[in-house]
Amino acid sequence: MLYPLFCYRILLKKMIIAYLLLGSNLGDRKKYLSDALELIELRLGKISACSSLYCTASWGKHDQPDFLNQVIALETRLSPESLLDGILTIEIELGRVRNERWGSRKIDIDILLFGKQIVAQRELKIPHPFLHERRFCLEPLCEIAPGLIHPIFGTKMSELLTELSDNLSVKKLS
């Protein structure tokens, strides 16, 4: 059950930079991403960097419309768990319905990284377990933070991108 943000906000002593992936493949995709950015900044922290928008083929389930994806850097004092709770609330408010794994959706917001932290909980895994396998994550992430180090592999994101075997279409929008 989700509660209002003020009920479960756990603040950290110092600011952390979290990297989030936003995606949409239903309806007015740009509007859903824009609305999500507005709510993220209003409730969860300060957005310090945004990648370009990328049009990407769906991953995991190929018989659906292309996604618009974007990665942001978010300066936050929230704990990883509170950040996830806030993200889930925003997704629901914007009309997210979870019907099937990797199915089409109006909005999807994933935590890719949370500082250098590694989190391995049932409902929360950081870094995102598929980050290093997905071009649609790495391309926009490398646009804003190519020198960022993967906290488990100890490898720069730009190196992970060059070694990537995922060849699904990822096109930067002008």
Which is nearest to 72 in space by CA: 39, 26, 96?
Answer: 39
- Residue 110 is a catalytic residue: yes
Question: φ and ψ at 14, to 5 degrees?
Answer: -125, 160
Which among 110, 134, 135, 166 is annotated as catalytic?
110
Which among 35, 85, 108, 135 is annotated as catalytic?
108
Which among 29, 35, 85, 105 is annotated as catalytic?
105
Amino acid (1-letter code) at residue 6: F
- Residue 122 is a catalytic residue: no
- Residue 108 is a catalytic residue: yes
Which among 29, 85, 96, 135 is annotated as catalytic?
96
Say how far apart CA 156 and CA 146 lie, in whole Å: 7
Which is nearest to 24 in space by CA: 42, 13, 15, 36?
Answer: 36
H helix or E strand, kind and range, residue 73 = strand 67-78
Q: Which residues are catalytic?
A: 96, 105, 108, 110
